[in-house]
Copies of this chain bind each other. A is one copy, B any other.
């Protein structure tokens, strides 16, 4: 039985706790919040027990947990991970796994030395429809251009315009569209096509100083991948992978709820398979299997892909 410590008490942690509750191999062992009251409320809402911590170092030393799920503000991911890796806890950390390459490399070394799993909680790559996508890519012939657009209007942008600065728009917490949304299509791109030869990007910065929207171009020897992302507009068009023989359309590049093949002659085929409504169950499965099998690194969310994603995003997010 893997006992999880949970860092962060927002909606994403609630979803992850729901996934834990449904999996017989694990349970919640502890909750961290800066305020005890918030943690207790979270436990009550989620219907889970376990210890409550308001001090991370103390939580790290606790024998009540074997693994930690981290869903704090972006800028804290790397350092918080270090605390728990040093205490030999397995780590599944929300994307971005860090915002700093040096910290990431240090964390990998500690994880390897302490023989614990270290994995980015990028859920998309484990989705059944991602598998369907991979299995059907060859039907497009040579893939020449890819257009991913993850533009999702954030209600917190309304708050920002009313003078209230939240974490996702705060430079201090490494907020902004690249790290929050751009990372999904970027990670999918790295998983599908590997490391690009080069990359460039342009962004529009909102008044708080983070990128509200931006475009990245990833160059490969045989194709161009374009990634548009935005927290201040809402797209109504699907994502598209364009090959010489046809296209695959994806409704949402993070959730992959619908996958459709269209060939150049106009014939189309629905490829979508059913997915669990809680999309985190798949990444949780992967993480628990790694622990069970004594593997330290996911073969899907690899250190290499996480590292490349951090490298690209940390270099492009302010580039205007």
Interface residues of A (CB under 8 A from B): 144-145, 147, 149, 151, 153, 157, 198, 200-204, 212-215, 217, 219, 222-224, 226, 228, 230, 232-238, 240, 242-244, 246-247, 249, 262, 264, 320
Contact = CB atoms under 8 A, between A and B. Distances in A.
Greatest chain B CB density within 10 A among A144, A213, A247 is at A144
A235 B247 contact: yes
B237 A249 contact: yes
A232 B201 CA distance: 24
A215 B204 contact: no
A280 B254 CA distance: 42
B242 A224 contact: no
Given A202-B217, A203-B224, A215-B217, 19 more contacts: A144-B213, A145-B151, A145-B204, A145-B228, A147-B149, A200-B202, A201-B217, A202-B224, A204-B223, A204-B224, A213-B223, A213-B224, A217-B217, A219-B320, A226-B226, A234-B242, A235-B240, A236-B247, A237-B238
A237 to B, nearest CB: 5
Nearest to A141: B233
B215 A145 contact: yes
Contacts of A157: 244
Greatest chain B CB density within 10 A among A224, A228, A246, A247 is at A224
Contacts of A153: 244, 264
B237 A237 contact: yes
Contacts of A226: 215, 226, 228
Given A242-B151, A320-B219, A233 B202 contact: no
Report, nearest first, the 7 A-B pairs whose CB atoms are least far apart. A233-B242, A215-B226, A145-B213, A202-B217, A237-B237, A202-B219, A236-B262
